[in-house]
A and B are shown apart, each in its own frame.
Chain A
Amino acid sequence: ETGVTQTPRHLVMGMTNKKSLKCEQHLGHNAMYWYKQSAKKPLELMFVYSLEERVENNSVPSRFSPECPNSSHLFLHLHTLQPEDSALYLCASSPRGNGGLGGTDTQYFGPGTRLTVL
């Protein structure tokens, strides 16, 4: 138990569905992250929220939309996904939230949501 929880753990959705992934951290951290993990590829950083402000990450398609209502909760809203978006989506948090992309801050991961897009 790392103090970061994610729901749901598994999600199957059609390409026209809209769904949301939820992450909650109980560590009192100031920064939260979304990563995508595909088979045989390194983890890809998608979004960073530092002190509840989004740090831009320009390479993510607009069909992924993050929301951070407070420092403990992070959502990833999904719509019109493609089959190649099927992956494990990991949430992480880190203590400092220094306004950058969190490179020098130790990150703690949740268990992930296994997403399958049909």
Chain B
Amino acid sequence: GQQLNQSPQSMFIQEGEDVSMNCTSSSIFNTWLWYKQDPGEGPVLLIALYKAGELTSNGRLTAQFGITRKDSFLNISASIPSDVGIYFCAGGGNKLVFGAGTILRVKS
């Protein structure tokens, strides 16, 4: 079946740093969605992408729908402590397929 490889699995951030994560697949998707999940809550939609090559921003977040339709990335600029959480990509085809998530933690 369709699978997504999301990387990195986890990362530590220092306040003010830029953060990048991505999802790749051997399958083509028609949509890419990025969600954030805080502990004890459901995933919250951050950015939705509907067209290959599309680049969309939401505040400090920027995501792109890869030209090949097999990948997507999410960038967070100038990270702040409340950015910690789990970020999921999801590729939409016949159904929505989710990556395993990227855990963002704060460097102490």
The interface size bin for chain B is 20 to 34
In Å, the complex CA distance between A43 and B94 comes to 16
Tally of A-B Cβ pairs under 8 angstroms: 64
Given A43-B88, A111-B41, the answer on whether A100 and B95 have CB atoms closer than 8 Å is yes
Chain B residue, CB-CB nearest to A112:
B42
Question: Does B62 belong to the interface (CB within 8 Å)?
Answer: no
Question: Does A22 belong to the interface (CB within 8 Å)?
Answer: no
In Å, the complex CA distance between A41 and B94 comes to 20
A103 touches B35 (CB 8 A): no
Interface size on A, residues (CB 8 A): 25
Question: Does B48 belong to the interface (CB within 8 Å)?
Answer: yes
Given A42-B4, A106-B33, the answer on whether A101 and B94 have CB atoms closer than 8 Å is yes
Which of B52-60, B71-79, B96-104 interfaces with chain A? B96-104
